[in-house]
Amino acid sequence: MTGLDDFIDSIQKARERLGVSNSSPWFRGHASGKYELKPTLLRKSFIDAHQIKDRKQFEKNLVCNFLTRAGSEVSAQIDTWQLLGLMRHYEMPTRLLDWTTSLSIALYFAVADSDTDQYFDPYIWIMNPHLLNKKSTGQIVVFDSVDRLEISYFECLLGTKIYKYSGPVALKLPLDNPRIRAQRGCFTFHGAGLDGTEISDLANLDKVGSRITRRIDIPPELVEKVRLLLTLEGVDAYFVYPELHNLSRSLTRDILKQRSARPNKPAPLE
């Protein structure tokens, strides 16, 4: 792979192999190969680092305390899937894994969402969400406000209902949150172990097979070109996270770059 054209070509070939060359695939960007393709709450590294002994009780505590502390910030009409989306986009560890329908957003998370120039092995994932749901549920639809996933996450978490899908499920939640809208957010829900049993490899999306997901590496020599392309498209921290503190972050970074790029002022003639 020698340039951006080859990189884009590899993405298009992956789309063709996944059967989404004429429809919208889902993308996800990773800055490092150390990240598993599963939600934070189910990652062994997270569980071990925080010495979580009872994962299900920890999960209950997160949800209940979020609802209690958020108060009126969370609408009383919100359903359990919307609530999970809200929690995830405000960095709460959940069973949701973020995806996007925008290649630019995925590339941002792979190479630009950092204040350093150090990248270990950035890459993006491409997924066919319809085939994922066919494998996990037998239905070739992406669950949304019309084709609803007729089960309550809360009831399953509390043990009053049984969650019946062992594999990840693709969801499109209402874009009623500024971050979800900006990021063109969509999700996979990973229900493995929701009944308190051990989490199997079924929770990890890179185990579902190459007909559903494909990984495209970003060569080191392309990182700066991709970052420049994102800059030209206006994809920065404020674009991705539309809150004022991120506007401040983006403006400060841009102005500092402009100053560092200015030529030194010539000394006056004597």
Domain boundaries, the chain: 4-232, 236-270
C-alpha span between 53 and 269 (Å, rounded): 73
Angle separating helix axes 223-232 and 4-18, nearest 10 degrees: 90
| Burial category of 5 from C-beta neighbours within 10 Å (exposed 0-12, middle 13-18, buried 19 and up) | exposed
C-alpha span between 74 and 67 (Å, rounded): 7
**pTM recorded for the entire structure:** 0.86
Q: What would you report as the CA-atom Rg of the chain, rounded to the nearest whole angstrom? A: 21
pLDDT at 90: 81
Average pLDDT of adjacent 10-residue blocks, the chain of 270 residues: 85 93 90 84 88 89 90 76 85 93 96 62 94 92 90 89 88 84 92 70 67 91 92 90 84 79 54
Which residues does residue 217 pair with via DSSP β-bridges, in sequence order?
A: 123
Which residues does residue 126 pair with via DSSP β-bridges, in sequence order?
A: 27, 214
